[in-house]
Amino acid sequence: MDNWQTTFTKERLAAASQRFGINPETARRIGGFENILYGYRSKGRDLVLRVSHSSHRPADQILAELNWVGYLADNGASVAKPVPSDLGSLIEVMEADRGYFTLTGFERAPGGHADARHGEWGTKLFEAWGQLTAEMHALAKTYNVTRGMPVRPDQDTLAFDTESFASPEEWGAWRKYAEVSEAISALPRGREGFGLCHRDLHHGNFFVSDGRITAFDFDDCGYDYFVQDIAMAVYYASVFPVWNGPLYDNDEISAFANRFLQHFMKGYNRAGRLGDEWLRELPLFIERRRSDLCLILFNAWSAESASDARRKWLVHNLAEIRSGVPCMALDV
């Protein structure tokens, strides 16, 4: 949890609630990592209040995110639609001790999370996941940024403090991340393969209800290669089918990943097309996710307090990265 979250007190929640017509006594915290999320009901609807801090994302970038998500919702994509404040604004800004808070409202997606333990985890879900991804990519090709509206980031490259690296494993992951990032940056940026993407559409960022997926958390959306969205789905479904039990057996991961990709692309091809030349680049994007995730999780998952499963996963992946062994073999 970021330090700023401790400064969002009950008093500040009460002040924020007034702007969205929320009874602060009934608002309950429902999650958040880089943001804080509160669930509430208003006028018979289940809604979500998201609190962001300017140290994470400036208000104009959040407004650009909401403009994009609103466009998706208005054009039929199954996404959690932004909800304006009582004053009709998509964002409300509040002073903080340092910087400021940005408040946004959203419809709460119906249903709940699905992972490998869920009854709907299977081929139909994977196809729906692919179809929704393609629908968003198709709409990205028709979306025009409103005049005067800021533009979302280009690829949103992660910044790492390399001076803090204290082990050859960290440096190995960093070199791999830099290598694949350079290769990705050299790919062409034509309209058919590059555009505004969710960039983080794993199974933690959608709910499922009666087979229908509703996507949310567009906080990381930006301009990227469409195959990035496919890579995130393949990687997380195969490596993190259950969040607290990451897999690292390459044969097991590869077997599932290829089955998953087959059904995901079956759904994707119902709503759009992506050339085979782009699917052949999937391993690059998957290795970028693996290497940067190892760097992000290194301190927490190498600590004595980490679970045995997490430590084993980290050690295995860092060793494979240094040896040049990919985390999965895809038939692309």
Instruction: Please compute, for residue 120, the number of CA atoms within 13 A of its CA located in the half-sphere on the CB side.
Output: 18
Residue with tokens 């990687």, as numbered in its chain: 235
Token reading at 243: 């969040």
Question: DSSP label at 241?
Answer: S
What residues have CB less than 8 Å from 155, skipping those under 6 apart? 185, 222, 223, 224
The CA distance from 174 to 168, in Å, is: 10
Per-residue pLDDT of the chain (332 residues; tens, 9 = 90+): 458 999 999 999 999 999 999 998 999 999 888 999 999 998 889 999 999 999 999 999 999 999 999 999 999 999 999 999 999 999 999 999 999 999 999 999 999 999 999 999 999 999 999 999 999 999 999 999 988 888 998 866 677 888 888 899 999 999 999 999 999 999 999 999 999 999 999 999 999 999 999 999 999 999 999 999 999 999 999 999 999 999 999 999 999 999 999 999 999 999 999 999 999 999 999 999 999 999 999 999 999 999 999 999 999 999 999 999 999 999 99
Token reading at 218: 């567009």
What residues have CB less than 8 Å from 48, skipping those under 6 apart? 30, 37, 38, 39, 40, 80, 105, 106, 107, 108, 216
Question: Residue 183, SS3?
Answer: helix
The b-or-e profile of 120-154 (16+ CB within 10 A means b, else e) is: ebeeebbbbbbbbbbbbbbbbeebeeeeeebebbe
The CA distance from 56 to 58, in Å, is: 7
Contact status, residue 47 vs residue 41, Cβ threshold 8 Å? yes
Distances in Å between the Cα of 200 and the Cα atoms of 169, 188, 197, 306 are 25, 21, 9, 24
Contact status, residue 152 vs residue 223, Cβ threshold 8 Å? yes
Instruction: Please compute, for residue 216, the number of CA atoms within 13 A of its CA located in the half-sphere on the CB side.
Output: 24
Domains of the chain plus CATH, in order, are 26-107 (3.30.200.20), 123-323 (3.90.1200.10)
The CA distance from 126 to 237, in Å, is: 9
Contact status, residue 221 vs residue 198, Cβ threshold 8 Å? yes
